[in-house]
Structure 1
Amino acid sequence: MDWLQVVILAIVQGITEFLPVSSSAHLILVPVLTDWPDQGLAFDVALHLGSLSAVLIYFRQDIINMLQSWTRSLHTRQLDADAKLAWAVILGTIPVGLAGLLLKDTVETVLRSPIYLSIGLIGFGLLLGWADWRFRGSRSEYQMNWKDVLFIGCAQALALFPGTSRSGITMTAALMLGLSREASARFSFLLSIPVIVLACGLETIELIKSQVAVDWLQMAAGVVLSGISAYLCIHYFLAFIKRIGMQPFVVYRIVLGALLLWIFL
């Protein structure tokens, strides 16, 4: 890769990882528009590490509180609000983990078509807009019950379908349950932590097996740029949806899906 490709891909990944717009769609579109070569597995790992570092740093105090309460709950069997939220993140991750193991080959072969990607962008974008308009309430992420968590977790498994957007579908499910926009986004971001850790782990194993040469300077740049852009994205997204809502992202998804159909059909 040349350095322009490194910078653009890192920023695109960092921004779109947490927005409800599908990072996979953008990472497919960028090489098509630029005719760049595939960035390779090593750089994918770097980009995911950057996104992970951003969400860990941004929610560091919440995560510390959750870990302390969760650890304490193992001994006392008493659940306070932070312990319940920690267990919710664990429970909400199980469906996507199982679905990933069962459907990994299908997703990587059958569903990688740009047509499926466009359908996912437009269809799940409309669903997000409907949920934000029709069901949005005022519940916080601390007011969820186990049925709510399982519903959001099962919805997250749909993110294996290209164009769905992991953050988009989890926010949609949370809004449908009556959570506020901010609570839906916050829980979606917390849910991303174990998912990104799992993705990084699997990609790292494949990278070790492949024994390809690694450009460590470009890897480091990818981590830093992806992390900075993801951190800023989380911060400004939470402020944006509080004032304006999800509808601009719905419009963007429809336009992007239509653009992909126009390019590939």
Structure 2
Amino acid sequence: MNWWEAALLGLVQGLTEFLPVSSSGHLVLGQHVLGIEEAGITFEVFVHFGTVLSILTVYGRDVLDLLREAGSALAAPAEIPERYAENDTFRLGVFILITLIPTGLVYVLFKEPLEAAFGDPRLASGMLFVTGVLLLLTLLRPNPKGRLSSLKAFVVGIAQSAAMIPGISRSGSTICVALYQNVKPEQAANFSFLMLLPVVLGATLLKGLELVEQGATVAWLPLLLGTLIAYASGVVAIKLMIDFVKRGNLQYFAYYCFLIGGLGLWLL
């Protein structure tokens, strides 16, 4: 992979991670079109880390509040039930942890086939149709006004697990499933972005350790360039996505998913 290919894929990742059109699907299709055979899951993980930096830029204060509450709870575990009942920030942190249960189980049980799926552009194209349907279904739940709960968070975690398949949008599936459960749009979007942090940080750590153990040679310049561009474009995409969610206009992204998925199935 040369520098301009890494820059292009980093831009695609940064925009599509937060817009509900599947970053993984676009990366698989982009790598196939460009003839890149060695980017694979390593590049995927690192550019995802770039988008984590985007989240920290936009939600830095929220993340600090979550960490502060977690530290306070660990220092006084007897107060955890009271904190959960009365503290919105602590409760949000618990909801994020709940989403990790189905996500972690699916990753452990299906790691190899999930990683192999990144080499199948036709699968990614087909799954873009699934994403499109999820987005269209939000029209059946206009003006949701409810709040998150532990059960709702678990269901959103299941949606995040399904999004490990390239072509199914992580942000799209998690936000849509939250909206289906009558969660307020802005809260659904914020929760989707914040719950991504532990997942991608964990995945980046595991892949980094794996690369060290294998003694793999990595082309660091294109990898870092792609990560930097993913970060910058991710900041822009987060703000755009929040605006679209507030307006209830997610269905427009469905038409794009149908178009790209259809072109992929036709041409590849």
TM-score, structure 1 as length reference: 0.90
CA shift, 1:45, in A, is 4.1
When residues 210 and 105 of structure 1 are mapped into structure 2, their CA distance, relative to the original with a 3 A threshold, is: same
Native 8 Å contact 2:45 2:207 kept in 1? yes
For residues 54-65 of structure 1, what are the structure 2 equivalents within 5 Å? 54-65=54-65
One-letter amino acid of the structure 2 residue matched with residue 185 of structure 1: A
Change in Cα spacing, 1:99 to 1:41, as seen in structure 2 (3 Å) is closer
Structure 1 residue identity aligned to 2:16: T
Which moved further from structure 2: 208-217 or 3-12?
208-217
The question of 1:217 aligning with 2:224 is answered no
Match for residue 67 of structure 1? 67
- Is 1:161 the counterpart of 2:168 in the alignment? no
| C-alpha distance 136-83 of structure 1, shift in aligned 2 (>3 A) | farther
Structure 2 vs 1, CA of residues 124 and 218 (structure 1 numbering), >3 Å: closer, same or farther?
A: closer
* Equivalent of 1:245 in 237, 240, 249: 249
Q: Is the 8 A contact 2:40 2:118 kept in 1?
A: no
Where in structure 2 are there 5+ consecutive unaligned residues? none
Residue 90 of structure 2, aligned match among 83, 97, 122: 83
Equivalent pairs counted in the alignment come to 261
Residues 137, 179 of structure 1: 8 Å contact kept: no
Partner of 2:141: 135
The RMSD of aligned alpha carbons is 2.1
- In 2, Cα distance between equivalents of 1:88 and 1:103: 24
2:168 partner SS: coil
Would the alpha carbon gap of residues 119 and 195 (structure 1) be closer, same or farther in structure 2, given more than 3 Å must change? same
What amino acid sits opposite 2:107 in the alignment? G
Match of residue 9 from structure 1: 9
Map of 1:227 onto structure 2: 231
List aligned pairs for 1:19-168, cutoff 5 A.
Answer: 19-39=19-39, 43-74=43-74, 75=76, 76-77=79-80, 78-79=82-83, 80-109=87-116, 113-130=120-137, 132-139=138-145, 143-168=147-172
Instruction: Provide the rounded CA distance (Å) in 1 between the counterparts of 2:245 and 2:115.
Output: 32
- Looking at structure 1, the residues matched to 194 and 150 of structure 2 have their Cα atoms a distance apart, in angstroms, of 16
* Secondary structure, aligned partner of 2:195: helix
Is 2:144–2:179's contact at 8 Å kept on the other side of the alignment? Answer: no
Q: Is 1:176 the counterpart of 2:180 in the alignment?
A: yes
Distance apart, 1:112 and its partner CA: 5.2
Q: Please give the secondary structure, in 2, of the residue aligned with 1:93.
A: helix
SS in 2 for 1:213: coil
Secondary structure of the corresponding residue to residue 59 of structure 1: helix
- Answer whether contact 1:136 1:181 (CA < 8 A) is retained: no
Report how far residue 207 of structure 1 moved: 1.4
| Structure 1 letter corresponding to 2:183 | L
- Note if contact 1:135-1:176 (Cα within 8 Å) is conserved in structure 2: yes
Which 10-residue stretch deviates more, 250-259 or 155-164? 155-164
What is the one-letter code of the residue matched to 2:108? L
Which stretch shifts more, 215-224 or 170-179? 215-224
Distance in 1 (alpha carbons) for counterparts of 2:6 and 2:26: 14
**What percent identity do the matched residue pairs reach?**
31
Q: Partners of 2:70 and 2:265 in 1: how far apart? A: 46
Bigger drift between 184-193 and 210-219 goes to 210-219
CA change 1:173–1:51 in 2 (3 A) is same
CA displacement, residues 38-89 of structure 1 (integer Å, 9 cap, x when unaligned): 3356544431221111111210111111222232234122220000001100
Q: Given the superposition, is the C-alpha separation of residues 169 and 112 from structure 1 closer, same or farther in structure 2, using an over 3 Å criterion? A: farther
TM-score of the superposed pair, with normalisation by structure 2 = 0.89
